[in-house]
């Protein structure tokens, strides 16, 4: 049977995404019931780029499902250092593992691996392109704080050009009912045309601005992001743009009382630590949702039935 992969959020229908979010919520309610469902299964986690949350949340997700984890977070210790292609690595590793998670600096690597692997492949971030499991994390966070993913004005602020979490989230949220976007960035870091083209095709409303102050009051969700230093060509440009937006307590005074502030993390300077104690700041809760939704994803891709729904 052909393996199912998650390379970008559109690989799953909204109905399937909602099913996964519901499964994640059931896992949160009763984690013990799921603690053995992946017994005997092995996840390979291949990180060709730095990671804290994504790697550890996948690893703990598999361990909490009773499975085991192999992999590397430093590709210089793998055969990549000898010149092996990612295609050959994918085929080889899929002989050992039941599911592969890969993060790579080059756009399209997860897709390439999925063509060669004999098991499901999950894209844990490919260059500045997509990061679908962060999107699932973000969606689970939203449904935990808002009644529905519907009728929301979502502000996305920071590095919209290189932020893969943003490209994934925006193209996915656009498929839900009545979502409007406010894209907040300096001119040099605007949302890529391919994302805007997709929204235009779907008839989804968005505005673009460089002012967080002017837009914050209209938002139900503010999604902050760091300037992606590693994807800049010039260090000078990075230094000029890195502190363009800093969310402070003062700015939060102008936000709605039920607005939530999200961030995929890591944070650099774009949210002052004084905001962390604001009940609307949910980014550290978001981290935990990431682990639960990845548990749901692993179960789904491995075709493991929910023991509570038999």
Q: Which residues bind ligand NCD (CB under 6 A)?
A: 53-54, 125, 131, 134, 164-165, 225-226, 264-266
- Give the whole-angstrom CA distance, residue 119 versus residue 131: 19
Q: Closest distance between ligand NCD and the C-beta of residue 284, in Å?
A: 12
3-state helix, strand, coil in the chain (%, to 5): 45, 20, 35
Q: Closest distance between ligand NCD and the C-beta of residue 32, in Å?
A: 27
Q: Closest distance between ligand NCD and the C-beta of residue 303, in Å?
A: 26
Q: Closest distance between ligand NCD and the C-beta of residue 143, in Å?
A: 19
Closest CB to ligand NCD among residues 71, 264: 264
**Backbone region of residue 130 per phi and psi (left: phi > 0; alpha: psi in -120 to 50; beta: other values):** beta
Closest CB to ligand NCD among residues 218, 269: 269
Closest CB to ligand NCD among residues 12, 289: 289
Give the β-pairing of 121-126 and 68-72.
unpaired
- Give the whole-angstrom CA distance, residue 136 versus residue 38: 20
Closest CB to ligand NCD among residues 104, 196: 104
Which helix (H) or strand (E) segment is 125 a member of? strand 121-126
Closest CB to ligand NCD among residues 235, 310: 235
- Give the whole-angstrom CA distance, residue 35 versus residue 28: 12
Q: Closest distance between ligand NCD and the C-beta of residue 57, in Å?
A: 9
Closest CB to ligand NCD among residues 91, 272: 272
Closest residue to ligand NCD, judged by C-beta, is: 264
Closest CB to ligand NCD among residues 169, 219: 169
- Give the whole-angstrom CA distance, residue 37 versus residue 307: 8
Q: Closest distance between ligand NCD and the C-beta of residue 230, in Å?
A: 8
Answer for the pair 159, 226: CB distance below 8 angstroms, yes or no.
Answer: yes
- Give the whole-angstrom CA distance, residue 66 versus residue 301: 16
**Backbone region of residue 4 per phi and psi (left: phi > 0; alpha: psi in -120 to 50; beta: other values):** beta
- Give the whole-angstrom CA distance, residue 183 versus residue 288: 26
Q: Closest distance between ligand NCD and the C-beta of residue 131, in Å?
A: 5
Read off the tokens for 90: 């994918």
């Amino acid at each position: 049977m052909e393996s199912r992969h998650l390379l970008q959020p559109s690989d799953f229908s909204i109905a399937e995404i909602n099913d996964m979010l519901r499964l994640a919520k059931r896992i949160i309610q009763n984690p013990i019931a799921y603690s053995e469902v992946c017994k005997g299964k092995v996840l390979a986690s291949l990180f060709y780029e730095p990671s804290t949350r994504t790697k550890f949340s996948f690893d703990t997700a598999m361990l909490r499902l009773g499975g085991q984890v192999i992999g590397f977070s430093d590709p210089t210790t793998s055969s990549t250092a000898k010149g092996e292609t990612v295609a050959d690595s994918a085929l080889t590793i899929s002989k050992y593992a039941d599911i592969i998670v890969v993060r790579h600096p080059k756009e399209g690597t997860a897709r390439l691996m999925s063509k060669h692997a004999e098991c499901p492949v999950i894209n844990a971030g490919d260059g500045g392109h997509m990061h679908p499991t962060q999107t699932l994390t973000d969606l689970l966070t939203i449904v935990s704080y808002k009644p529905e993913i519907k009728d929301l004005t979502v502000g996305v602020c920071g590095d919209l050009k290189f932020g893969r979490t943003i490209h994934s989230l925006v193209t996915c949220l656009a498929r839900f009912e009545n979502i409007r976007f406010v894209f907040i960035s300096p001119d040099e870091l605007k949302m890529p045309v391919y994302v805007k083209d997709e929204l235009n095709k779907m008839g989804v409303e968005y505005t673009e601005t460089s002012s967080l102050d002017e837009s914050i009051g209209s938002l139900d969700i503010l999604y902050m992001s760091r300037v992606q230093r590693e994807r800049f060509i010039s260090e000078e440009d990075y230094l000029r743009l890195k502190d363009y937006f800093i969310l402070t307590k003062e700015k939060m005074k102008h936000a709605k009382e039920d607005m939530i502030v999200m961030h995929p993390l890591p944070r650099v300077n774009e949210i002052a630590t004084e905001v962390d104690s604001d009940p609307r700041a949910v980014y550290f809760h978001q981290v935990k949702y990431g682990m639960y939704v990845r548990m749901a994803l692993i179960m789904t891709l491995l075709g493991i039935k929910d023991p509570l729904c038999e």
